[in-house]
Amino acid sequence: MSGGAPSLPSPPATSANYGAGSASAFEMADKVLVLKHERVLRLLRRGRVIAEYPIKLGLNPYGHKQREGDFRTPEGNYDLVARNPKSEFFLSIKISYPNREDAAVAHESGFAPGGLIMIHGQPNEPKALPRALRDTRLDRWLHRTEQRRHGRRLVADDDRDPDRNPEMMMKRAEVAIPAGPAEDDNFVDARVTPTGSLENLSQMEVDRLLDSSRGGLYPLYRRCSLAVLNSGGETDDARAIFDRYADFDIDIVRQAWGIKLELHNAPAAAFVDGRMIRGIQEHLFAVLRDILYIHGEVYEHGSVELRESAGITNAVYRVLRNAGLLQPRVRPDIVVCWGGHSIGRDEYDYTKLVGYELGLRGLNVCTGCGPGAMKGPMKGATIGHAKQRIPSGRYIGLTEPGIVAAEPPNAIVNQLAILPDIEKRLEAFVRIGHGIVVFPGGAGTAEEILYLVGILLDPQNEPQPFPVVFTGPRGSEEYWHQIDAFLVGTLGERVRQCYRVIVGDQAEVAREMLRGMAAVREYRRRAKDAYNFNWLLRIAHDLQQPFEPTHAAMAGLKLHRDSPPHQLAAELRRAFSGIVAGNVKESGLRLIDEHGPFELHGDAELLRPLDALLASFVRQRRMKLSGEYQPCYRIVA
């Protein structure tokens, strides 16, 4: 043994000399994973753990091996290159240390890199244990009666001193990607540790999460987790995602130092080089955090009154606070960006340019966290923040269980919150945002616009400054003309006071937001309202009520000209909410399959501009990310 190689248990004496003839009794591993901080070696085959053994390391295991004689254990990716059949230790296997980088680093420091790093078991003859090992008691309890086989690659943990840092130990994943044939490349089995969001759960919380009965949380938890793991997928069809990963399963494993999630048949795209992507790992535990909080603190314990408008707002506030989104002592700087997830390349590039200009001005971005116009502004803002050396840029994603599968959080989101339903998600946007930029989109974007103007048209909200910009690249003039004509045709000329249209000028969009932030700050200061949550904005109770889009509910919408503008906007918002459900939500898709398209009834002069707008969305392919669009609605004048 040289340096700090892992030491394995030995097999029973009767099998010390087993050879190829006995290999059929074992699965052949294709990867060896050494977890230094847990003193564990795992054998994997196609990403699945087939065996796990305790190990001991060298005299000084902390950190990567730097030079000969430092007694450290190498960290990184190495090959198992040779076995020493004459070794005094069981299954003594050499790893490919040093590689070129190891040798270069050592020589630059004036040292030899060392070598002969071996993985091996106990001495073949226990009495022959070298005195140095006896004195340091490195291997005193490692004798086991299990046989071993070895894999072809070693993946050593590259964390630094996690044994001495419990927080670091709770913030890493310890998984391996399968190296099997192509048909298995889409699925991974793994164990994942928390990232600081939720290291401990009570027994009751675990039971609720794993309860698959009608009232249990497991179906919801599984769907949201799978959606997060499928981030970056090429389809927005929730049913296709759930069908493809029908065998996906997630379990909670409790250990002495906290919890782990055990994933089975998870999307392989969530992993890279044997580890779960850090952002996806954080999102996975954000889902766990928010589902438990919503169903425990908001719904079950009755700590908030959801039958009153103030109680619903309080629930939204508490979910956002629990997620760490409400930062104290900060000036207004959050720009909410809305837009379609199914957009063309020109429109997507323009959203990045707008985000870049916002980032250059020190503004942060909040979106629905999906792809398309929800990802572009965040991507641009990262570059703007980097150029201004802003290390704490915020890329906030707000979603809800019904839509997270079709629009999973993109990789840039660094603060994620799951709201209970679409209405509370929309309220969260306008409560924490200090201005809103809207890009071209489809039915979901129209729903958000109608929700927003329904609030701004409320007479009680007239004194409040709330900058809103409709924008897009050159060529989007027709789209915004259609939106403007629809809003004016249904809600009246006054609606134009609620927004400004800026086409093809990303810098002016950012300047408009910056000017609006100053007005918002001054108003909040004089009104003694919080900068991080808009308590004074009035949201009518009917806008806060969850809308369940069924055929009866859609047919019963009051789409009549004589309704007050802010109330009519609320009804039109529900119409678009139902269309979004019929387009992408699992529950809506199922209803359309069973009973046919939703029907919308109302005044002809209202339904004509509605029909024209929806038809334009279909022509411009704004209704669906992939595949041919089949309308989920029918206009009945």
Please return the burial class of 227, using the count of CB atoms within 10 Å of its CB with bins 0-12, 13-18 and 19+. Answer: buried
Cα(490)–Cα(559) distance, rounded to whole angstroms? 10
Phi, psi for residue 482 in degrees, rounded to 5: -65, -45
Phi, psi for residue 629 in degrees, rounded to 5: -85, 130
Quote the pLDDT of residue 605. Answer: 83
CB atoms within 10 A of CB 518: 13
CB contact set of 24 (below 8 Å; sequence gap of 6+): none
- Judged by DSSP in three states, 40 sits in strand
Cα(586)–Cα(245) distance, rounded to whole angstroms? 15
Q: Which residue has the tokens 């993946």?
A: 155
Q: Check whether residue 534 and residue 555 sit in a common domain.
A: no
Determine the structural domain holding residue 17 and report its residue range: 13-163
319: in domain: no
581, two tokens: 């459900």
400, two tokens: 């809800």
Instruction: Name the DSSP letter for residue 157.
Output: -
157, two tokens: 């943990």
Q: Check whether residue 130 and residue 235 sit in a common domain.
A: no
Q: Check whether residue 466 and residue 335 sit in a common domain.
A: yes
* Long-range contact set of residues 607-613: C-beta below 8 Å, sequence gap at least 24: 607/559, 607/635, 607/637, 608/637, 609/485, 609/486, 609/489, 609/490, 610/486, 610/490, 610/559, 610/572, 610/575, 610/635, 611/635, 612/482, 612/486, 613/446, 613/482, 613/483, 613/486
Cα(553)–Cα(215) distance, rounded to whole angstroms? 24
Number of domains within the chain: 4
Give me the sheet containing 258-267, strands edge to edge.
187-192, 258-267, 249-255
455, two tokens: 């609030």
Cα(458)–Cα(318) distance, rounded to whole angstroms? 25
Cα(183)–Cα(222) distance, rounded to whole angstroms? 23
Q: Check whether residue 289 and residue 366 sit in a common domain.
A: no
- Give the chain's largest Cα–Cα span: 96
Strand 258-267 vs strand 187-192: parallel, antiparallel, or unpaired?
Answer: antiparallel
194: in domain: yes
CB atoms within 10 A of CB 59: 13
Q: Check whether residue 252 and residue 154 sit in a common domain.
A: no
Q: Check whether residue 28 and residue 136 sit in a common domain.
A: yes
Q: Which residue has the tokens 């103007």?
A: 453
| Per-residue model confidence as pLDDT tens digits over 339-360 | 987 788 999 999 999 999 999 9
Cα(494)–Cα(456) distance, rounded to whole angstroms? 10
313: in domain: no
The residue type at 375: K
49: in domain: yes
H or E segment to which residue 428 belongs: helix 422-432
Q: Check whether residue 44 and residue 102 sit in a common domain.
A: yes
95, two tokens: 């790893």
Nearest to 545 by CA among 426, 633, 403, 406: 426
CB contact set of 163 (below 8 Å; sequence gap of 6+): 36, 37, 62, 169
Cα(49)–Cα(372) distance, rounded to whole angstroms? 37
Q: Which residue has the tokens 């006896």?
A: 134
Would you report the helix, strand and coil content of the chain in percent, each value rounded to 5?
40, 15, 40
Choosing from 163, 195, 214, the residue where a domain stops is 163
Strands (E) located in 268-333: 271-272, 275-276
Quote the pLDDT of residue 487. Answer: 92
| Per-residue model confidence as pLDDT tens digits over 256-280 | 656 778 888 888 888 887 788 888 8
Segments of the chain with pLDDT less than 50: 1-3, 9-25, 127-184
Q: Check whether residue 258 and residue 286 sit in a common domain.
A: yes
Contact in structure between 21 and 4 (CB atoms under 8 Å): no
* Helices 278-293 and 203-210, packing angle to 10 deg: 100
The CA-CA-CA angle for residues 466, 469, 470, to 5°, reads 140
Strands (E) located in 344-394: 364-367
H or E segment to which residue 82 belongs: strand 77-83
Q: Check whether residue 221 and residue 341 sit in a common domain.
A: no
8: in domain: no
Q: Check whether residue 159 and residue 194 sit in a common domain.
A: no
- Judged by DSSP in three states, 14 sits in helix
24, two tokens: 């059929």
175: in domain: no
556, two tokens: 């019963």
Q: Check whether residue 523 and residue 420 sit in a common domain.
A: yes
620: in domain: yes
Cα(343)–Cα(444) distance, rounded to whole angstroms? 12
CATH of the domain at 145: 2.40.440
Contact in structure between 350 and 499 (CB atoms under 8 Å): no
CATH of the domain at 245: 3.30.1850.10
What does R_g of the chain's alpha carbons equal in angstroms?
29
Written as one string, the DSSP assignment of 508-570 is HHHHHHHHHHHHHHHHHHHHT--SSS--S----HHHHS-----HHHHHT--B-TTS-HHHHHH
User: pTM for this one?
Assistant: 0.66
Choosing from 512, 544, 576, the residue where a domain stops is 544
372: in domain: yes
CATH of the domain at 410: 3.40.50.450
Cα(555)–Cα(557) distance, rounded to whole angstroms? 6
196, two tokens: 């600081």
Q: Check whether residue 293 and residue 391 sit in a common domain.
A: no
Q: Which residue has the tokens 């580890």?
A: 275
Choosing from 105, 135, 163, the residue where a domain stops is 163
Phi-psi map region of 463: left, alpha, beta (phi>0 left; psi -120 to 50 alpha): alpha
Strands (E) located in 165-257: 187-192, 249-255
Phi, psi for residue 376 in degrees, rounded to 5: -55, -50
The CA dihedral of 404, 410, 411, 415, to the nearest 10 degrees, is -70
46, two tokens: 């196609």
Contact in structure between 406 and 307 (CB atoms under 8 Å): no
